[in-house]
Structure 1
Amino acid sequence: MFDYYGLMKKFMFNFSPENAHHIAEFFFKNGAKFTPFILSPLAEHFYIHDKRLEQELFGKTFHNPLGLGAGFDKNATMIKMLTALGFGHIEYGTMTPEPQSGNPKPRCFRFPEQESIQNAMGFNNEGMYKIGKRLESLYPFATPLGANIGKNKVTSAENALKDYEKLIKRFKDLSDYLVINISSPNTPGLRDLQNEQFIKDLFVMVKELTDKPVLLKIAPDLAINDALNISSTALENGAYGIVATNTTIDYSLLPNAKDFGGISGKVLTEKSFSMFEALAKEFFGKTTLISVGGIDSADEAYRRLKAGASLIQVYTAFIFKGPSLNRSINLGILERMEKDGFSHISEVIGSDRR
């Protein structure tokens, strides 16, 4: 079979990572708008809809466990096309209250040999009002949507709660769940909010604002005990779950890495899994766990599910392998289920914990 994506990737990789992303966004956004007839054939090929993969979470049906992690569709412009390409859920964002341009360029670097990316984007997005307006004409959507939210760069730590309050009010009725992002390495001082007092104050506030599921996303660079403690604090104060993990600032993982920004992709696999495994040992069966970071195959996806992930997300691997990754991961999960004698994904999830 002809490798169409391989040819396309060869062309796209002639551009800088950020320019390549803009080109992809242009076609994804406008393809769905001006040629909507292509969505059904794409979905028929890429979208795996099998009852054995279905789950009910957050009051919604997730037709398969594989989603797109935050950062790819920052402004919620590509949701229709991305769904047609096989994702069982889409997490859009990260959004901030006010629009911001992000960090100085160049700020995104690809490492093809390692199938990894290093980025220091800095929450570049159109702001919650414009993005929210776009979603008002789309939501509710057939596929579950998550809203990933973060504070503006100029917002002090003392005023960070106000930013999250604005964002929750704006997106609570435009998403099926929300994710608090205090773990990106690209906004100065943001990771400092990964402390028990701020987490407690945050989720006490969340309970007053919405009954929509709100989850916490953590960094892979925390000490395990710190990760367990802040996750426990979040859950004790009303968080619906934990998303693990964000990008890493462990630059030793990547040859010729820059000394800024966060690393994602294949080199993050084991570091992300180690953090997830520690969290799952403590919290599986008590909350919803979502695993992201270095997932690039059915084997790795299946390992995360068995470790306790109800949902898994990809991002960087989607860039390197294309939409065939979605199909192969979901079909691969089904093949492994049959081999192991599992009749439904609920039997797979956490099977290593039992």
Structure 2
Amino acid sequence: MTHPDGVACRRDGAVGRITLDRPTSRNALDLTMIRRMLDALTRWERDTDVDAIVIDSSDDRTFCAGGDIVAVHDAAHGHRERARLLWREEYRLDARIAHYPKPVVTLMNGLTLGGGMGIGCHASVRIVSDRAALAMPEVAIGLAPDVAGTLLLSRAPGRIGVHLALTGQRVDAHDAVYCGLADHVVASSSLSPLVADLAAGCPPTAVGAEYAVKPRPALPTHRAWIDDCYGTRDVEGILQRLSRRTEPTAVDALDAISAGAPTALKVTLRAMEMAHTHSGIGQCLRQDYRVCSRFLLHPDLAEGIRAAVIDKDRTPKWDPADLTAVTDADVDRFFQPLDDDLVL
């Protein structure tokens, strides 16, 4: 039986256990779930019997498929403050996890997209199972990566982070560790005994290392063409370089970027470049709030969600439909301060 609030929060020995439990929505984060998690973290911070926090999922196919984009779609059609409230609370949760005074262990077992990376990849001990698949696929719905995803991706080797941000490509557990999105690959069959050790009071860092298997990433074999193609600082140049490559993975990247929303692509590339200058997660989340608030006013976001989630026809009509129509000034506006800038 699923939890009515979409998340179960309880004590399990020496750990506070947060289990995402909204399987019909692939554990998409709504406002109730986010607030329950924040309340639990506040309660356990003062509880001397809680040594660490574990965040996992009741579904072994999905950790968290992101934020509640159906709610965002509805908000884009007239109740924009609802989406902005969701983002404010979600970003508070991401920052809380990142700066929590006790170890936070995340078990990313299965699909982990967008907001799932926000709660999973900013923790102090980040574990991905052999079933994990991670991605920031926002450009496909007319949005840019948020939840400080650009900060995470900017730490990947070479230009791999830009590649992942612009294509929305999924990476498996081994490549997630290679990109710095996670710390350990653990067999899914080992997750239960791992949690039992944590509940018994074993140190989280040592437990993660004990159960870890050696990563076998595939992305290093693609570094040459990725670093070359994404070495230019404009989307048009990236597409030109990709069009000259014959590697199947480069052809796939060309197709993925060509299908993305032109405005979202240019805003995402700018956000990735700016992420290298950020002092930490707070600064990046403030930028994300500005960018997402501006996308609520842009027609591409509602259209992208409609095509991908509501009607599922996979044929969004972007406005503008051509990269050359998106000017630097258009991109600049997404990053300007708001009257109600996010304060964490």
TM-score, with length taken from structure 2? 0.30
